[in-house]
Amino acid sequence: MESVSWQSAHYQEPYNSQRKAKYPAKMERLGLKDEDRAAAVLDTCCGQGIALSVMHDWGFTALTGLDATPHPDWAKDGPAVIHQGDVHAMPFPDHSFDIVTNLHSLHHLGGALGVRAFVAEVHRVLKPGGRFYIIDFPGSPQIWLLFRMFRAGLYPPTGSLRNFAAIVDEEWSYKAPYLREWPAVARELHHGPLRVASLKQRFFLYYLKLVKD
Ligand SMILES: C[S@@+](CC[C@H](N)C(=O)[O-])C[C@H]1O[C@@H](n2cnc3c(N)ncnc32)[C@H](O)[C@@H]1O
């Protein structure tokens, strides 16, 4: 479960809504808009359910979410069935999903060992031929520099960068091992049980599609 202070920083308005508005374009860049609308989809670390509602708007019908921290937006009559649970031990049978997604959350799962255990679980719940889509920060020198500046208090006094710096601070206990172990984290992603189908590397984010052959 994320702390109350993490939740209040992460879901602070208007920054949460501003972040939300960017999701359709990011998810399209990832390749999700090209997927079959009847696919069984699991969004891991789904948070309040932003990605699930975008996919619902695009016409996807079999939507499931999983997150350790419950959110008030998980309405019983919402577009997806959302479960509370840990992505390292998912409450789903083998071969349940055509698509698994993990957006802006891999850095919550610790270093390389946490990512390895998660990828093994994704491999288990995916059907043969299933796809795993990820967006997150790479452990690049630019990201380290930016986050170190935030940690040193170098950010504007107000605004979205100030909010982002507060989130980085709240996440530091697991973000630091993820960034420090980045080469090993990348190895777990690129040379684990799933095959790399595409990788788009941007300045601050990577967009990765893996496939279960
Ligand atoms: C930065 S938020 C991203 C939420 C959502 N994917 C989005 O893009 O809005 C990360 C989420 O990961 C969840 N999380 C962290 N560790 C988890 C775990 N081991 N199992 C399930 N969820 C986890 C947190 O509760 C949080 O909601």
Q: For residue 136, list its beta bridge partners.
A: 206
Residue 108 C-alpha to ligand 1 middle, in angstroms?
A: 7
pLDDT tens sequence across 25-45: 999 999 999 999 999 999 999
* Residue 176 contacts residue 157 (beta carbons within 8 Å): no
Give the single-character DSSP code of 107.
G
Structure tokens at 172: 């530091």
| Percent of the chain topping pLDDT 90 | 94
What integer is the mean pLDDT of 2-9? 95
| pLDDT band, very low/low/confident/very high, at 8 (cuts 50, 70, 90) | very high
Q: For residue 132, list its beta bridge partners.
A: 100, 210
Q: Rounded to whole angstroms, how far apart are CA atoms 137 and 182?
A: 10
Q: Rounded to whole angstroms, how far apart are CA atoms 187 and 84?
A: 29
Q: 169 lies in which domain range?
A: 4-211
Atom of ligand 1 nearest to the CA of 171: 1
Question: Is it the case that residue 117 has pLDDT exceeding 80?
Answer: yes
In the sheet that holds 126-136, the strands lie side by side as 81-84, 62-67, 40-44, 97-103, 126-136, 206-211, 195-201
Q: Is the CB of 52 under 6 A from ligand 1?
A: no
Angle ∠(112,128,63) on CA atoms, nearest 5: 80
Structure tokens at 89: 């031990």
Residue 109, domain CATH: 3.40.50.150
Question: Is it the case that residue 195 has pLDDT exceeding 80?
Answer: yes
Q: Rounded to whole angstroms, how far apart are CA atoms 144 and 142?
A: 5
* Residue 81 contacts residue 112 (beta carbons within 8 Å): no
| pLDDT band, very low/low/confident/very high, at 78 (cuts 50, 70, 90) | confident
* Residue 140 contacts residue 181 (beta carbons within 8 Å): no
For ligand 1, pick from 108, 115, 121, 170 the residue to mutate: most ligand atoms within 8 Å of CB.
108
Q: Who wins on pLDDT, 78 or 191?
A: 191
Q: Is the CB of 9 under 6 A from ligand 1?
A: no
Global pTM reads 0.97
pLDDT tens sequence across 127-182: 999 999 999 999 998 999 999 999 999 998 999 999 999 999 999 999 999 999 99
CA 147 vs. chain centroid, Å, equals 19
* Residue 182 contacts residue 138 (beta carbons within 8 Å): yes
- Exposed e or buried b per residue across 71-99, where buried means at least 16 C-beta atoms within 10 angstroms of its C-beta: eeebeeeebbebbeebbeebebeeebbbb
The number of domains in the chain is: 1
Q: Rounded to whole angstroms, how far apart are CA atoms 15 and 10?
A: 8
CA 162 vs. chain centroid, Å, equals 22
Q: Rounded to whole angstroms, how far apart are CA atoms 107 and 196?
A: 19
The pLDDT mean for the chain works out to: 96
| pLDDT band, very low/low/confident/very high, at 110 (cuts 50, 70, 90) | confident
